[in-house]
Amino acid sequence: MKARSKRLVFVALAIGGVGVAAAMAITALQSNISYYFSPSQVLADEAPADRVFRVGGLVEEGSIERQSDGLTSVFSVTDNAERVLISYTGILPDLFGAGQGVVARGRLGSDGVFYAEEVLAKHDESYMPPEVADSLKTAQAEDVSSMVDGQ
């Protein structure tokens, strides 16, 4: 085979391969991403009812309760505007605690409780997940603007 046609074969194979791979990867990605919603957005019914998504905020003081099985905990997270009850069965991370920023991934039940499959708290205590920091800021800004509107 001539060098030129050989190279063409290679290029064609490479482009075809990359195209197929990209299409498959992106299709798969669509079904594997989970969106993030703040408690305010969840309360405003912006979050999907039938899909896995993430919700985050600060764990409210005194809201952590343990069920009798010893493994299920229920607590509420807040963006300082609204709160969402989260139920999680399993062992919570070491840094989980009242006042900590956490992100939970799971589904919203019809009872309005968020059933988490995974709860993340950060390693570094001075570190807050960017999503949580953002939603706290947003909630605060809306608070301020509603005060202004009220006057």
Chain residues binding another protein by CB under 8 A are 1, 3, 6, 9-10, 14, 17-18, 21, 24-26, 28-29, 32-36, 54, 66, 69-71, 90-92, 94-95, 103, 105, 120, 122-127, 129-131, 134
CB 50, min distance to another protein, A: 17
In whole angstroms, give the CA distance from residue 28 to residue 22: 10
Minimum CB distance to another protein, residue 29 (Å): 6
Nearer to another protein, 65 or 146 (CB): 65
- Contact at 8 Å (CB) between 17 and 36? no
Q: State the Cα–Cα distance between residues 84 and 76, nearest whole angstrom.
A: 5
CB of 110 vs another protein, minimal distance in Å = 23
Closer residue to another protein in complex, CB, 33/98:
33
Q: Which residues in 91-110 are b (16+ Cβ under 10 Å) and which e?
A: ebeeebeeebbbbbbbbbee
